[in-house]
Structure 1
C-alpha cells in the first residue's frame, strides 16, 4: 500500500484532473492486488549500497506489496525464516541446530556435518541440497507460497585442502519485496557472473569465522560487491571471530547493532538507511 500511496501523490503533483486521478489510482490498486508478493532481485544491476559506474543511473525497485519476514538465528549457520503466509525455511539444516518444528523448506550445504543432515525430518516438504551428491550442478528455482527460492553454486575446499567444484550454494529468498541471501560456506570471492545472478540483495547472512571460510579481507570485498543494507553474521564459533569482524566492519563504515534477542522482523520500510551489521546471538532450537 505504501507504493500505491506514493504513486497517488505523484499523480496529484502531476496536475491531472480529479477524474483522471481517481481512475489512475483505481487502476494501480487493481493491478497491485493481482501481483505476487515477491521481490525481483536478479534484474537489478546494482545493490543498495554498491558503488555504481561513473554516470550510471541508480535503479530502485518499487515495493509490490508490504510485508514482514521474521528471521530467527538458531545457531552456527542455521536461521529460520518465516514469511507473511507462514512458510518457514531453515537454512543449512543439520542434525545439531534445528528449529522447534519441522520447516516447510530446508536448505543444506555440503561443507561438513553442521551444514547438512543425515536424517532430515520426514515432515519437511521441500529439502534443497546445495550440492549434487552425485556430482555436477544442482540448480533450484522453486516457489513455495509467497517465497521464491533459488541458488547459485560456488566451489568449496575439502578438509584435505583440495577444491571441490560446486560444493556450496548461495541460497536466495525473494519474499515480501525483500531479497535475502545466505552465503553458505563460501570459500572464494564472487565472480561478476555470480554478482549479476545475485542482483539486488537487501539482507545477507555471512560466515565471519575468518578460518574455515573466507578470510576477512576477502569477506569484506564480497560484502562491498554485494552491497546489502543489512549483514547478519553467522558461523562465528571461533574465539575472537566476532570482535575481529566487527572491528573491520566499523572501519568499512558499517553501523553495528547488537540485538537483544535472537530474532528480528524485517521489512522493506525497516531496512537501515546506512549499511548495518546486525548481530544476533544464537537462540538455540
Structure 2
C-alpha cells in the first residue's frame, strides 16, 4: 500500500488544482525500471506503480514466455516476444524479416548496419547514434512486453580517429530475459559500461576478427559478460573456428540445425553455450 499511496495523493492534489484523472494520464509516466542493470539487481522486489501512458507504461512482461530469435544475416536478428512485439537488430533493409517488425535498431559504423529509408510501416526506428556529434543516444523505451534501452560506445572514425558514442549496445528486456546486441563494437568495454549493461542472459556478438575487434579482445568481452547463450554474428573473413578457439572447457559449442532458436528463463543452458545459428 505504501507504494500506491503517492499515486492517489498526486491525483488528489491534481484534482484540487482543477486537473482531472484524464489529464493526469496524459502526463509522462515513470519509465520502466530495468531488471538487468547491476543496480536493479540489488533492489528488493517491488511492484512499481505509474500512470497509464502510450507505450511508456510498465511492460506486461511475463517471465514464463518464450522468445524466438532468428538470424537473418550479417548483424540482423529478428526477435519475437511472447506479447507479439517484433524487433530487427542493426537493420539495413537488406536482410528482411518474414513480416514488418514493430521495432528496428540501427548502428552507423557501416551502411550494412542502418538505413535512412526504412519502411514507413515500422513503428519505432531507433538510431544507436545521436544527431548531436559526440553525444550518446539515449533510448529507454517500453513497447508492449519489451523494454528496449541502449549503452553507448565509441567507434573508429573513417579518418582513423575515434568517434565518441557512435555505436550502441542495445538491450532488450523481455519475458524475464536480458538480451544484448553488441552492435559494431570497436573497443573493449570499461567498468562503467559493464555496469550500465548489467546482466545479459543472451548476447549477440560480432566475430569478424578485426573489422570490429580482434577475436582475443572480443572473447574477453564475452567472458566478462558471462552470458548463458552466446550467438555469433557479423562473420566477415575468418572462419568461425578462429573465434571459438578463444574459449576453453568452460564454454560449450553447438551448431543449430536452423537459423532460429527459442529461449526462455527456464531453458537457458546451465553452462555458457556458444550457439552458431544456421546461415552464419
Q: Which structure: greater helix fraction?
A: 1
Equivalent residue, structure 2, for 1:40: 35
Question: Is 1:65 equivalent to 2:60 in the alignment?
Answer: no
For the pair 1:141 / 2:140, whether they are aligned, the reply is yes
CA distance in 2, matches of 1:218, 1:110: 21
| 2:73 match | 75
Preserved CA contact (<8 Å) 1:39 1:176:
no
Asked if structure 1 preserves the Cα contact closer than 8 Å seen for 2:219 and 2:243, the reply is no
Could you list the per-position Cα deviations for residues 218-261 of structure 1 after superposition, in whole angstroms to 9, with x for gaps in the alignment? Answer: 11111111110111000012142x11012222x26210010000
For each residue in 1:73-113, what CA deviation from the matched residue of structure 2 results, as whole angstroms up to 9, or x when unmatched? 00000000000011000000003222132210000001111
Aligned residue number for residue 282 of structure 1: 279
Structure 2 equivalent of residue 178 of structure 1? 177
Distance 2:209 2:147 in 1: 30
Distance in 2 separating the partners of 1:149 and 1:97: 21
Contact 1:95 1:118 in 2 (8 A): no
Instruction: Give 1:264's match in structure 2, choosing from 240, 251, 261.
Output: 261
Deviations 1:9-55 (A, max 9, x none): xxxxxxxxxxxxxxxxxxxxxxxxxxxx9971014688xxxxxxxxx
Distance 2:180 2:95 in 1: 19
User: Contact (CA 8 Å) 1:76, 1:282: kept in 2 or not?
Assistant: no
Q: TM-score, normalised by structure 1?
A: 0.77
Which runs of no fewer than 5 residues in structure 1 stay unpaired?
1-36, 47-57
Query: Contact conserved, 2:136 with 2:166, CA < 8 A, in 1?
Result: no
1:228 equivalenced with 2:223 (yes/no): no
Question: 8 Å contact 1:38–1:178 — kept in the other structure?
Answer: no
- 1:123 equivalenced with 2:118 (yes/no): no
| 1:133 CA drift (Å) | 3.3
1:199 Cα deviation from its structure 2 partner? 1.0
1: CA distance, partners of 2:226 / 2:212: 19
Question: Secondary structure, in 3 states, of the residue corresponding to 1:114?
Answer: helix
Which runs of 5 or more residues in structure 2 are unaligned?
1-31, 46-60
- Residue 255 of structure 1 is matched in structure 2 by 252
Q: 1:137 to 1:44 in 2, by over 3 A?
A: closer
Q: How many corresponding residue pairs?
A: 233
CA distance in 1 between counterparts of 2:208 and 2:186 reads 11
* Partner of residue 196, structure 2: 197
Alignment match, 1:167: 166
Q: Does residue 273 in structure 1 map to residue 260 in structure 2? A: no
- After superposition, the CA RMSD in angstroms is 2.4
Q: TM-score normalized by structure 2?
A: 0.78
1:38/1:176 contact within 8 Å kept: no
